[in-house]
């Protein structure tokens, strides 16, 4: 499979490594939104969160506080975003699950849009039912 993150996980392509264990790797993003922008990936290839075994996601989840804390403290940032794009429509360019940890400084303008909307009366119940039916 021609996957850049599989190649990084296998050591075939270099990366600036932050953390590694048997199942999880964290490294600096080559195109950072802010200095210290870090990616956390499973070494095994899955494309989207809902396709990934819960146990592997739990292993990634157990690494996130360690890496996020190190990014936050190491970059002396004011906060950070943890972001996981799933699918092209959501902005996923590399089709291997990855969690972005993006250090933020107050007023840095990294994300300027959050286009929040409102539900029309009666809609919220219908939407929640559609989702619960797929659990």
Residue matched to tokens 């953390």:
19
Provide the minimum distance between the beta carbon of 124 and ligand 5GP in the complex, in angstroms, as a whole number.
29
Q: How far is the CB of 96 from Zn ion (least distance, A)?
A: 3
In this structure, the dihedral spanned by the alpha carbons of residues 87, 91, 96 and 101, taken in order and rounded to 10 degrees, is -130
Active site residue 98: yes
Choose among ligand 5GP, Zn ion, none what residue 105 binds, the Cβ cut-off being 5 to 8 Å by kind: none
CB of 64: closest distance to ligand 5GP in angstroms?
Answer: 16
| Max Cα–Cα distance, the chain, nearest Å | 54
- Residue 82, beta-bridge partner list: 101
Q: How far apart are CA 68 and CA 101, in angstroms?
A: 6
Query: Total binding residues for Zn ion by CB under 5 A?
Result: 5
Residue 45 found at the interface with Zn ion (CB under 5 A): yes
Which residues of the shown chain bind Zn ion in the complex (CB under 5 A)? 3, 5-6, 45, 96
């Amino acid at each position: 499979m021609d996957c850049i993150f599989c190649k990084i996980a296998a050591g075939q392509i270099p990366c600036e490594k932050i953390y590694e264990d048997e199942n999880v790797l964290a490294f600096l993003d080559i195109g950072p939104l802010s200095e210290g922008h870090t990616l956390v990936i499973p070494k095994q290839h899955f494309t989207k969160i809902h396709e990934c075994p819960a146990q592997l996601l739990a292993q990634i989840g157990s690494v996130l506080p360690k890496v996020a804390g190190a990014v936050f403290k190491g970059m002396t940032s004011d906060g950070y975003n943890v972001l996981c794009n799933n699918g092209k429509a959501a902005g996923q360019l590399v089709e291997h699950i990855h969690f972005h940890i993006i250090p933020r400084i107050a007023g840095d303008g990294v994300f300027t849009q959050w286009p929040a909307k409102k539900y029309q009366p009666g809609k919220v119940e219908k939407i929640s039912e559609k989702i619960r039916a797929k659990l």
